Chains A and B, each alone.
Chain A
Amino acid sequence: MVKVDVRDATFSYPIYTSKSRSFKNTLLSGQVGGMGGKGKRSTQVVHALHDVNLSLRPGDRLGLIGHNGAGKTTLLRLLAGISHPTSGSVDLEGRVIPLISRGLGINPELTGRENIELPLRLFGATGEEVRWAHETVPDFTELGDFLDLPVRTYSDGMRARLSFAICTALTGDILVLDEWLGAGDAGFVQKASRKVKQMVQESGIVVLASHTPSILQQNCNKLAWMRRGEIVAMGDPKEVSEAYASEMRRRGRSGIGYEDGKGADDAAAQLAEREKAIQAQTELMDTAWTSHKYVEARHHAEHLYATENSSKAAYRLGTIHFYGRGADKSAAHALPYFRHPSLSDDPWSIYHQGLIMCDPTYPQHDQQIARNLLEVAFARGIRDAGPKLAALEADAADLKTG
């Protein structure tokens, strides 16, 4: 039967100093014994989990909530068999699919297609499952011709798509997820969360760690609140997440940063206010840009980008560096902004990425990638990509004949 039983699991690990990592020093100190009176161990021990108890049966969908460093990922690693408890026991039956880090088994030098097999094999997939993934993954990623280009040419968003599609092509009994639902770009997130819901339904047991209460409430029927390596409360998702939220409020450390003693209504009001502020700033930025006050536009964009990570600001900063307005002209500076994950679906960003990639002054320029990018942009309705594309085709033809 599929089951997860964790009994009194404690996990602590040493942090090695550079001295204790040296074979020579360890050997010497072993020979000399206690000489010099330094008999004590110099390594520090971190206690990441204390006496954690869990018992999950098919149908259980457990969410883990808690601060960074509360031990969520450590617990997930124990469940996935990646690490082992220092004391206590972790008893699992069933096939575990650990979706803990997104880049597992992906080699940036290989094409998307060539990268499909290894991650699956690392999760213990059979040949049959690998064949099945080769059929389903290309459609799910919507990467099209990019699938035959090296992954290093992908934007962050495209990488996230690929790796999500690969890792979710398997079905397991126990699904272990770490902050996965927030992966990918806006267009993909919906599709991804539908897929995860489906996986959650197909798997017997799900353990999901997240910072976002709404994700946990939607996907889980049990919630465990972790603090400093312990489970402090476990039960109904709504109750536990409310308890967690009120604790966070008391400490004034919730994601939105409101003051002590204010209720959830205030939080909503603050959220709306923040949206409004972003809106206003975006408008300021755009008016400055259209009225040719480029330096001012740049200040607004940089502020918005730094504080809110806004996609509009990222695009604006990209154009600022691309056209050299309000800042030095530099393709190398502009490219990362256009590759911002929130922009991976934006045809204008793709168009600009294409222009940069075919610019011979850009050190990593690549005609082939440029052509692909421009084709995508053109297909998505960017007319301006047409002439450039034709010029590139002509160049390529010249090279062949000449």
Chain B
Amino acid sequence: MSVTANFQRQRRPLFGELSNTVSHWQIWVLMGNQDIKLRYKRSVIGPFWISLTLAAWIAGISILYAQILNQPFLDYLVFLSCGLLAWNLISAIIGEGSVSIIDNGGHIRSAAIPLSLFAARVVYRNVIVFFHNLLVIALVLIYAKVPPTPALLILPASLFANAILLYFFISITGPLCARFRDLQQIISNLLQVSFFLTPIIWQPGQMSGRTLITDANPFYHMIELIRAPLMGSLPTTTNLVACGTMLIAGWLASMLVWRYSRKRVIYWL
């Protein structure tokens, strides 16, 4: 009988946790599916509450701000809804990710489960939500008569890159939020501010000459990755370079956090 340990002990620090996530995909997929199922179990229209919420946001903001910012309604509607789609993914994952380790304390205390699985669970369930939201965006694009372009083909890659980036991001914040209990509040405050600092309800072109506020904003690049192909163009080289840099930095930083927290997380909970 072959003898294997339940989960891989970390022999290869660069890939150990990643390979745990990949080889135990059943666990986080199962957990994510349960989360989605539970969230809408007792409502009639079920998961489409998610889409409805986004639709209400889009309708509310676009009607008001197209007026305030003096923009053509249809153009603004498309820009806003594609941006909100991406922002919803990012903010939900970061927000839920900061409690991912605390909420799973019961599991962590009773079985040897790699921490990265809980980050993957949060990312996975929000990617499912993303697809629900995508329906609304599709309707908006059809309503605004935006023709589909070949740029749409890179959308899956954009989504994947965002998912990986966010997976690294919450692999860092999740354990740290368990160690420092006020970090969660700090993160949620920063998220709220970022929503207004990032070009979602306003367009980058409106800040004439001041590119620092967009270029130095990591969320801008992540959103562009998804928004640009939906609006029929490709993300710029700056976007790609920024996201690539963040991916590498996120990988290294999350590796450090995994190493630091793996043995300690049990007494942070």
Q: Is B196 an interface position by the 8 A CB rule?
A: no
Q: Which of A104, A109, A117, A124 contacts B30 (CB 8 A)?
A: A117
Mask of A68-101 contacts with B, CB within 8 angstroms, 1/0: 0000000001001111100000001111101011
Chain A interface: which of B79-87, B164-172, B176-184, B223-231? Answer: B176-184
A22 in contact with B180 (CB, 8 Å) = yes
B3 in contact with A2 (CB, 8 Å) = yes
B111 in contact with A104 (CB, 8 Å) = yes
B179 in contact with A84 (CB, 8 Å) = no
Contacts of A15 in B (CB 8 A): 267
A22–B183 CA distance with the chains assembled, in angstroms: 8
B180 in contact with A83 (CB, 8 Å) = no
Q: Is B257 an interface position by the 8 A CB rule?
A: no
A282–B44 CA distance with the chains assembled, in angstroms: 51
A103 in contact with B106 (CB, 8 Å) = yes
A271–B227 CA distance with the chains assembled, in angstroms: 75
Contacts of A117 in B (CB 8 A): 30
Closest chain B CB from A25 CB (angstroms)? 8
Mask of A213-247 contacts with B, CB within 8 angstroms, 1/0: 00000000000000000000000000000000000
A82 in contact with B111 (CB, 8 Å) = yes
A96-B6, A123-B6 known; A118-B182 Cβ under 8 A: no
A107 in contact with B38 (CB, 8 Å) = yes
A95-B6, A101-B109 known; A83-B27 Cβ under 8 A: no
Mask of B31-52 contacts with A, CB within 8 angstroms, 1/0: 1001001100100000000000
B27 in contact with A122 (CB, 8 Å) = yes
Contacts of B179 in A (CB 8 A): 21
| A18-36 interface with B by 8 A CB criterion | 18, 21-24, 26
| A168-214 interface with B by 8 A CB criterion | 173
Compute the total of residue contacts between A and B using a CB distance below 8 Å. Answer: 96
Q: Is B210 an interface position by the 8 A CB rule?
A: no
Closest chain A CB from B4 CB (angstroms)? 7
Contacts of A333 in B (CB 8 A): none
Q: Is B186 an interface position by the 8 A CB rule?
A: yes
B180 in contact with A23 (CB, 8 Å) = yes
Q: Is A323 an interface position by the 8 A CB rule?
A: no
A94–B4 CA distance with the chains assembled, in angstroms: 6
Q: Is B107 an interface position by the 8 A CB rule?
A: yes
B26 in contact with A121 (CB, 8 Å) = yes
Contacts of A18 in B (CB 8 A): 181
A21 in contact with B181 (CB, 8 Å) = yes
Mask of A108-138 contacts with B, CB within 8 angstroms, 1/0: 0110001001100111100100000000000
A98–B5 CA distance with the chains assembled, in angstroms: 13
13 A–B contacts from the bound complex (CB under 8 Å) = A21-B181, A22-B181, A77-B266, A81-B7, A82-B110, A82-B266, A84-B262, A104-B111, A109-B41, A118-B31, A118-B34, A121-B24, A173-B3
- B-side residues, CB < 8 A to A, are 3-7, 24, 26-27, 30-31, 34, 37-38, 41, 106-113, 176, 179-183, 186, 262-263, 266-268
